[in-house]
Structure 1
Amino acid sequence: MSTTAVRHLHARDALLPEGWAEDVRVGVDAAGRIAGVETGVAAAPGDDIAAGPVVPALVDLHSHAFQRAMAGLAEVAGPTEDSFWTWREEMYRIVGLLSPQDAEAVAARLYVDMLKAGFAHICEFHYLHHGADGAPHADPAEMSRRILAAKAAAGIGMTLLPVFYAHGNFGGAAPSPGQRRFLHDLPAFLALMETLGPACTAAGVRLGVAPHSLRAATIDEIRALLAALPADMPVHIHVAEQHREVDDCLAFCGRRPVTYLCDELPVDRRWVLIHATHINAEEVARIAQSGAVVGLCPTTEASLGDGIFPATEFLGQGGVFGVGTDSHVSFSPAEELRQLEYSQRLRDQRRVRVVTGPGRSNGRTLYDTALAGGWQAAGERVHGLRVGAPASLLVLDGEDAFLAAARGDTRLDRWIFALGDRAVRDVMVEGVWRIADRRHADDAAIDAAFAAAIARLSN
């Protein structure tokens, strides 16, 4: 396939908002948006011809790219029971070693790997801001610019979410030394946001904001951020990830984290509540009614022993979720969706849990929900293979025997539950082919920079 922007793509089979269709011709404009969708038509001369079924690409709605550098380094038992809190100490150690060049190299390799697995857009929850001693770089936006450079090298779509991080626990508690590279006061953070606005526009990146958590930002600080920033900006926040966080919040204010958040702040469709693992029935209903997206990171939540989100109850009340890869022990949408479904099966000791009714494909329900939730989290109003949406799509491998024999939603079931990443052949991002026959044009250079960074960090 061509590695430049295309005018038209023709697919024998494609998943449209209304369902699977045959002989689909998708037009892409110069801005990388879908300009037209025709069905039941033949390919025209000059069209790109998809080498398999075409589906809209998914969004990874939660990423800490630098944490890919520590994948596999927190698997040795400590002297006490291991948990998120002991894992966090290893994360702080890696944080202390990363140079700006390392962070860029790690992020670029990660973003290419994510493209190859089937994510075409990432919401980067970026909180590694300063130098190793906690002092701002000469350019306070240095680390954010490194993320933008990695995005450009990989060609992935991006919503950049600079993180406001000021405290170590509820009530404005002092941060720990391991958090010094993350910290801002409000004036310095708002100055960073002002700098990043033009930089993101130039890079074709949507800018959002992420108060790290109710532990790291007070309610008053979050209110001040919201008042100072555009009213339509996506807002992402970690909440209720661990039991200890719930207990600390109860001790601080007598309310659970999600209840406290929803009582005090205008949580609505522009909000993304990351994890929300430990919530009760009332909080399930409040999130669903608010229209906010829950950002689930199933492989990271399993890796850290966080717990299991009540996905079946949430979906049953009309809730919307998306998936992210968070600490990047995995970078695969199929693995995240499969882990989400299997966690519900293990909890309930039943099969096929995340569905909306009898006869409904499990893979299709997971995929449709994550597709809608992910693009909403990214700040995009239109998604899927429809006019006006980003021309970001996947071509599944039509030569794979499993997919060649599949029809309709069975293609999604086989991708998610049987094939995983090997099902993804080509990836278009905003009208440009970034992965062609499982390869990226700059694989060699990106691999070399990544290898050098990992070698340095391992010494």
Structure 2
Amino acid sequence: MNALFARHALLPEGWHGDVLIEWDGRGNLTKVEAHARPPIGVARADYVVPGMVNLHSHAFQRALGGLTEQAGDGPDSFWTWRDLMYRFGASITPEQLEAIATQLFSECLRHGYTALCEFHYIHRDPAGKAYARPAEMAERVVAAGQQSGIGLTMLPVLYSHSGFGAQPLKPEQGRFRSDVDSVLGIVEALAPLRGGQLEVGAAPHSLRAAGIEQIRELAASLPAGRPLHIHIAEQQGEVRQSPEFSSRRPVEYLFDAIAVDARWCLVHATHLNEAEVAQLAASGAVAGLCPTTEANLGDGLFPLSDYLAAGGRWGIGSDSHVSQSPVEELRWLEYGQRLVGQRRNIVASPARRHVGENLWQDALSGGAQASGRPVGALAPGRRADLLVLDSTHPNLEGALETDVLGRLVFCGNDNPVRDVLAGGRWVVQGGRHMAQEAIARRYREAINQLREVRA
């Protein structure tokens, strides 16, 4: 039987006891019944929570982790990091990308992500020429998702310019080159692969890399309901450049030109003024927050308190993958706001006092919306994505169910995720991925090949 009996499970309305969870062969939840009797022969668990959604990923950057932490001759910033990232990505082959992505996805699963949105922009070969199959690199990421078991939302990226005003791409950006037709071609090529574990949307890279008319055309041409993501207002440089070109700040410029609605995810949106906070919150779009990457790159802090007060929706992503842990993203998110406001327990209200639970539930909701997939909750009709936490771990010893997520997010650095179900398939058991050794071996081979090229 595809079933699990949880002594405590986190449902959309909060914690419930004695929950029977069942799913079908397609990986969809068919029954979530609280206060049930445990059926004979069904596996049991103490604490079960929905798997987290990672709404922003650049898989190839997993192989770059830790290699950019050496100071340059002048002040370092996002822009100096970007130059290093370009050089690193110049020679990655399709086979290497698949190996790197599979390693990343297996790590994400082990830490509690069961779904991921891949913001994919390496489209061409190292010489900047189209592959025989233009969707080759995207197909490799999809293959990595299938091998690892993670649910994917593929977002082929529109990347035509190097800066505002349709500035031509730089040589090091040649692998990213795309236009609306080529992006829609990749969307069409991936269409036969869509299913329970894969959705396909699209992503204008940024207002710097895609013109407003292109963004408008892509949004109108994409099949109805498909997710649209965009980087926006991540760094002060973009915030300064946008008014010089458009007389408006980035978010203001986007909203004036495009009907931004609930299928949009605005990634980072770090630097907003009061009016832009209100605009984004009212639109129903999701703010895609990536605290570990935003901290690593020195981007700044999103105005979360004001955004929450305006009723805004948000989710988390691991972006450049300096961390693969949703716990670290959520902890950074809350702690950053505490440091700015010099007070505690930011993501809370008189009606919602448990910060860890609020963080987890809100990130699930926003991440599910951004993914365009039926994930993010233990409820019939959603994907069978869940985490079994290790109740024998010291951090969870004797925990009340209402304290579990507070302990998970704010106590220690061990990973208490024991088992992971993704799309109705047990992909992690006892803390180990089902194919961990084989995946790690292919990753090591890819990394060694890349080091030889860089040397």
Structure 2-normalised TM-score? 0.97
Matched, 1:89 2:83: yes
Query: Which of these residues, 195, 212, 235, is aligned with residue 189 of structure 2?
Result: 195
- Distance in 2 (alpha carbons) for counterparts of 1:391 and 1:199: 19
1:294 & 1:305 partners in 2: Cα distance? 18
1:9 correspondence with 2:38: no
Map of 1:402 onto structure 2: 395
Give me the whole-angstrom Cα distance separating, in 2, the residues matched to 1:249 and 1:67: 27
- For residues 238 and 27 of structure 1, the distance between their equivalents in structure 2, rounded to whole angstroms, comes to 38
Query: Post-superposition shift, 1:90?
Result: 0.7
The answer (yes or no) to whether the contact 1:61–1:377 under 8 Å persists in 2 is yes
Equivalents in 2 of 1:421, 1:174: separation in Å?
Answer: 46
Question: What SS class does the counterpart of residue 238 from structure 2 fall into?
Answer: helix
Give the whole-Å Cα distance in 1 for the aligned partners of 2:227 and 2:352. Answer: 35
CA contact (8 A) 1:274 1:296 kept: yes
- Tell me how far apart the structure 1 counterparts of residues 217 and 319 of structure 2 sit (CA, whole Å): 27
Pairing partner for 1:53 from 33, 47, 51: 47
- The answer to whether 1:63 aligns with 2:57 is yes
Match of 2:380 among 373, 378, 387: 387
Partner of 2:230: 237
Which residue in 1 is equivalent to 2:265? 272
1:329 aligned partner:
322
Where 1:75 maps in the other structure, the secondary structure is: coil
Match of 2:71 among 77, 82, 85: 77
Task: Give how far 1:269 is off.
Answer: 0.5
Partners of 1:336 and 1:185 lie apart in 2 by: 33
User: What is the match of residue 127 of structure 1?
Assistant: 121
Query: Residue 201 of structure 2 contacts residue 222 of structure 2 at CA under 8 Å; is this kept in 1?
Result: no
Q: 2:336 aligns with which of 323, 340, 343?
A: 343
- Does 1:159 pair with 2:153? yes
Equivalence for 2:295: 302
Structure 1 residue 388: Cα displacement: 1.0
Q: 1:369 is matched with which residue: 362, 371, 387?
A: 362
Partner of 1:37: 32
CA deviation map 1:387-437 (0-9, x unaligned) = 111110111111113213111221001101114451111110111111111
Deviation of the 1:190 alpha carbon: 2.2
Q: Which moved more, 1:177-186 or 1:233-242?
A: 177-186
For the pair 1:22 / 2:17, whether they are aligned, the reply is yes
Q: Which aligned runs of 4 or more in structure 1 are off by greater than 6 angstroms?
A: none
Which deviates more, 29-38 or 289-298? 29-38
Helix, strand or coil for the counterpart of 1:98?
A: coil
CA distance in 2, matches of 1:139, 1:382: 31
C-alpha separation in 1, matches of 2:220 and 2:294: 32
- SS of 1:53's partner is strand
Displacement, 1:456? Answer: 1.5
Superposition deviation, residue 358 in structure 1:
6.9
Checking the alignment, whether the CA contact within 8 Å between 1:118 and 1:421 is kept in structure 2 is no
* CA shift for structure 1 position 345: 1.1
SS of structure 2 residue aligned to 1:405: coil
Residue in 2 aligned with 1:3?
none
1:43 shift after superposition? 1.5
Task: Structure 1 unaligned segments of length 5 or more: list them.
Answer: 1-5
Query: Gaps (5+ residues) in structure 2?
Result: none
Distance 1:181 1:219, change over 3 A: same
Amino-acid identity (%): 48
Letter in structure 1 aligned against 2:449:
R
CA contact (8 A) 1:363 1:409 kept: no
Query: C-alpha distance in 2, partners of 1:263/1:421?
Result: 46
Cα-to-partner distance string for 1:332-386 (whole Å, 9 max, x where unaligned): 0000000001111111122211222377011111111101000011113564111
One-letter amino acid matched to 1:219: I
3-state SS of the aligned residue for 1:169? Answer: coil
Residue aligned with 2:379, SS: coil
1:186 positional shift: 2.5
Aligned to 2:206: 213
For residue 401 of structure 2, give the secondary structure of its aligned residue in structure 1. coil
Corresponding residue to 2:177 among 183, 195, 204: 183
Specify the code of the residue in structure 2 equivalent to 1:323.
Answer: I
1:58-81 deviation per Cα after TM superposition (whole angstroms, max 9, x unaligned): 100000000011100111110110
The answer (yes or no) to whether the contact 2:50–2:387 under 8 Å persists in 1 is yes
The alignment partner of 2:6 has SS state of strand
Alignment-derived partner of residue 253 in structure 2: 260
In 2: Cα distance, 1:336 partner to 1:183 partner: 31
How many residues are matched? 452
Residues 117 and 421 in structure 1, CA contact (< 8 A), matched pair in contact too: no
Which range is displaced more, 55-64 or 27-36? 27-36
* Alpha-carbon displacement from aligned partner over 1:248-293 (angstroms, at most 9, x marks no partner): 1010011000011111101011000000000001100111100000
Q: For residues 265 and 322 of structure 1, do their structure 2 counterparts lie closer, same or farther at Cα, with a shift above 3 Å needed?
A: same
- The residue type equivalent to 2:252 in the other structure is T
- What CA distance in whole angstroms lies between the structure 1 residues aligned with 2:315 and 2:197? 22
**Retained in 1: the 8 A contact 2:260–2:283?**
yes
Structure 2 distance, partners of 1:126, 1:356, is 37
**Per-residue displacement from partner, 1:193-240 (whole Å, max 9, x unpaired)?**
221211334x84101110111111111001111222212110000000
* C-alpha distance in 1 between matches for 2:212 and 2:352: 45
Residue 428 (structure 1) aligns with: 421
Measured after TM superposition, the shift of residue 178 of structure 1 is 1.3
* Between 237-246 and 18-27, the greater mean CA deviation after superposition: 18-27
Range 438-447 or range 326-335, more displaced? 438-447
Instruction: Tell me the TM-score normalised to structure 1 length.
Output: 0.96
